[in-house]
Amino acid sequence: MTDRFSPTRFPAPHPAPAEPSPGRPRRKTDTLTAMRQLAREAAEAGEPLACIGRRLNIPRTTLARWAQEDGFRKQDIAARKAAAAREEAEADAVRRRAEEAARRTVLAEEEDMPRSPAEQEIVLARARVGALLEAGLIPEAEADMRAARKLTSLAGFAGPVRKATYAAGRRLERDETNAALYRAALLVCGCWQEGDTAPDHLPWVVSGMFQKRLAFARQFLPLVMEEVADASDEDLTNVALMLAETGWFENYASAMRDLLPRLREMGEGDLAARIEEDLQDEAEALPELLAWCEAHGYVWQGEV
């Protein structure tokens, strides 16, 4: 029997350290930090945690702990999105109220000296930033201020020539609109042919005839054309102008005289009487119209 106090007893060897598992090697701290950030970004992008764990080879318990600590569990992300949506809705409501107030005050007071679209947007942007700041929505106010600063920088850069070019552009747009209107008037009055140039202005004999013929067309077209029976005044005007493009108004007087009996049969005696009276007025004004056409290089296409 061996004495355990014997000097010849040898101590048991120290156990060797356990070998790391070859299937799951330990990762460095910087690697774990990067993977944790990748997992968070993927979860916020909508990828399920189970898919993230398989793709990045992260243990389920580790990923669950990261998600809880960093707040990228499904319920955490949904709560943040809902809160962000509420804040954005509140900010949008503040912006709308600020724009309405600016339009009723600052912009309304300057109707006699209207601002350009860029200047109006700068006024509205400043109103939005101020309202957001008063409402305590600091991040939203900062974001709107950055956008407003970009707009004011662009406006300042273009300032030296912007007013002149804007005024010239408005005049050009007005001239183009007037030219199209004058051409349509001459078409309806039977004074236009291909190759003509629109005049700078219209005499009363032309503009009066144009307005009356369009007014009557808006009344009788729904009665004689089923496809426009329920059309709006704007649509009826467009139909009349399309008829003018085909030359229909060149024979306006005879077409109206043929239409009068039909209108009376339809119970539209008042309309027929007013059209008949207007045809008489046009006949009396015809010499003045012919003289204007000859003086300005236009050829009367209607009936004499």
Direct distance between the N- and C-terminal alpha carbons of the chain, in angstroms, rounded to an integer: 150
> What pLDDT does residue 237 have?
86
> What pLDDT does residue 196 have?
83
Cα 182-187-193 angle, rounded to 5 deg: 105
Mean pLDDT by 10 residues, the chain (304 residues): 53 53 60 85 88 88 88 86 86 88 77 70 88 88 87 74 67 80 86 82 87 88 84 86 85 88 91 91 90 88 70
User: Among candidates 243, 246, 279, 236, which has minimal Cα distance to 260?
Assistant: 279
**pTM exceeds 0.75 for this model:** no
CB distance 124 to 152 below 8 Å: no
> What pLDDT does residue 5 have?
53
State the number of CA atoms in the 13 A half-sphere of 287 facing the CB: 1
> What pLDDT does residue 83 have?
84
Model pLDDT for residues 203-232, shown as the tens digit of each residue: 888 888 888 988 888 888 888 888 888 888
